[in-house]
Amino acid sequence: MRHFGFLAADRADALFHRLPEEILPAADRLLVATALGATLYAPGTRPTLAADVRRQMSAGVTSMVLCLEDAIADHEVPAAEANIIATLHDLSENPPASAGGPPLLFVRVRDTDQISRIIARLDVDASEMLGGFVLPKFDPEGGVAALAAVTQASDRLGRPLWAMPVLESPQIIFRETRERTLLGVRDLVDKHEDIVLAVRIGATDLCGLFGLRRDRDLTIYDIAVVRDCIADIVNVCGRGGEHVVSGPVWEYFAQPERLFVSSLRVTPFEEADLVDDSADGARMRSRLVSADLDRLIREVVLDKANGLLGKTVIHPSHVPAVHALHVATHEEYTDAMAILADDTGGVRPSHYANKMNELRPHRAWAEGVLRRARAFGVLREGHTFVDVLAATSAL
């Protein structure tokens, strides 16, 4: 995977202080998890699934999930399994060509038995197209068998496959069972840290348990019962920096009448170096607002502030915004390098003269910034995510 590999060399050089690196699927686990970015879900029933994968990777998608669970009806499961298997064979016979490299492909299964069934029906070349499995409704009881099945599949293929558990069951969000369940989940992912790539949050299922659905004017952090659960998931599964927890799905992509005024500031669009003038910047902002992407942008900012990295998305238009917000700014990178340059403790002034850098408390943050810098690159000084959007978005 290589983010922004589709950019022309001169445009990339004008945008980046440090270019994104190519990240191999077998690289360091935390680095691969960081590089997932916007993980695009696609129903396994789509008749043009192989063509969809090729088209999305050419547009900058670096990770996709082919779904056999909630995205399809119960009676469609056998046909969807066959379609996904045919898709993997198609992709292996006609490998996608892209400057960004092939996306990391996962299959989201309904049950543990599907893992072995899918592996058994793949030839050697087709199996190389599979990066791993997404494990829904993950809890300490069913998780043991699910992770064992991924390990067995890896053994059968002779290479490691990644597993991504999804936390979305009642035991995760109900207050009386949450702590015990999360501690059990953490114990499991610690024991299988060699294959657990990232922990994902199933916000739609968690909302559904309470008959809730967040409005497009709100972020998931405005839904108190889910916000509190996310905080506990990060507290248990994200502590110490040993595991990446990804942001929940953003499920809107159309624009009806708005209830609230957008909070997306005008100034960054007026000042962006890659926008020709303020009128063009204003039009770009207007298009983002019209497509509801301003709310997505706000939620990704809140995801990052709360310790989540990457995001589940269900529409290609979401991808540029998520990736733009994961590029390390020059200020973040400069601070991170200063923090990691010395391990003796103490405080150092920021190069930007606007904050203090405490070498020990900020060390884990700085390590995360450097992983983002490797995966998404570092912007040149004075550039913001708006410049990345201007260079990469089709809006």
Which residues, at least 6 apart from 157, have a Cβ–Cβ distance to it below 8 Å? 119, 127
Is residue 275 predicted with pLDDT exceeding 50? no
Distance CA 216, CA 259 (A): 9
So what's the pLDDT on residue 281?
A: 65
Measured in whole angstroms, how far is the alpha carbon of residue 224 from the centre of its chain?
23
Residue 168: which residues within 8 A CB-CB, separation 6 or more? 136, 137, 138, 201, 202, 203, 204, 205, 206
pLDDT of res. 277: 47
The tens digit of pLDDT for each residue in 197-217 reads 999 999 999 999 999 998 888
Q: What is the pLDDT of residue 67?
A: 97
Task: State which H helix or E strand residue 18 sits in.
Answer: strand 16-18
Per-residue pLDDT, 254: 63
Longest dimension (CA), the chain: 61
Domain limits, the chain: 23-258+289-326, 330-376
Mean pLDDT, residues 220-233 taken together: 97
Segment 386-391 mean pLDDT: 88
Q: Residue 344 — φ and ψ, nearest 5°?
A: -90, 0
Q: Can you name the residues that pair with 250 across neighbouring β-strands?
A: 313
Q: Check pLDDT > 90 for residue 270.
A: no
DSSP string covering 116-146, please?
Answer: HHHHHT--HHHHTTEEEEEE-S--HHHHHHH
What is the per-residue pLDDT across 11-58, written as a single tens digit (0 to 9) for each?
A: 999 999 999 999 999 899 999 999 999 999 999 999 999 999 999 988
Superfamily of domain 23-258+289-326: Phosphoenolpyruvate-binding domains (3.20.20.60)
Higher pLDDT, 227 or 351: 227
Question: Average pLDDT for residues 122-129, to the nearest whole number?
Answer: 94
Instruction: Give pTM, 2 decimals.
Output: 0.91
The per-residue pLDDT for 287 is 61
How do residues 147-185 score in pLDDT, each as one tens digit?
999 999 999 999 999 999 999 999 999 999 999 999 999
Instruction: Give the pLDDT band (50/70/90) at residue 344.
Output: confident
**Measured distance CA(238)–CA(243) in Å, rounded:** 6
* H or E element in which residue 331 lies: helix 330-340
Select the highest-mean-pLDDT range: 274-283, 307-316, 339-348: 307-316
Rounded alpha-carbon distances, angstroms, from residue 115 to 50, 88, 370: 20, 14, 34
pLDDT value at residue 286? 59
Map residue 358 onto helix, strand or coil: strand
What is the spatial distance between Cα 32 and Cα 20, in angstroms, rounded to a whole number? 13
Report pLDDT for 394: 46
pLDDT averaged over the chain? 90
Helices of type H across 9-112:
9-15, 29-35, 49-58, 77-93
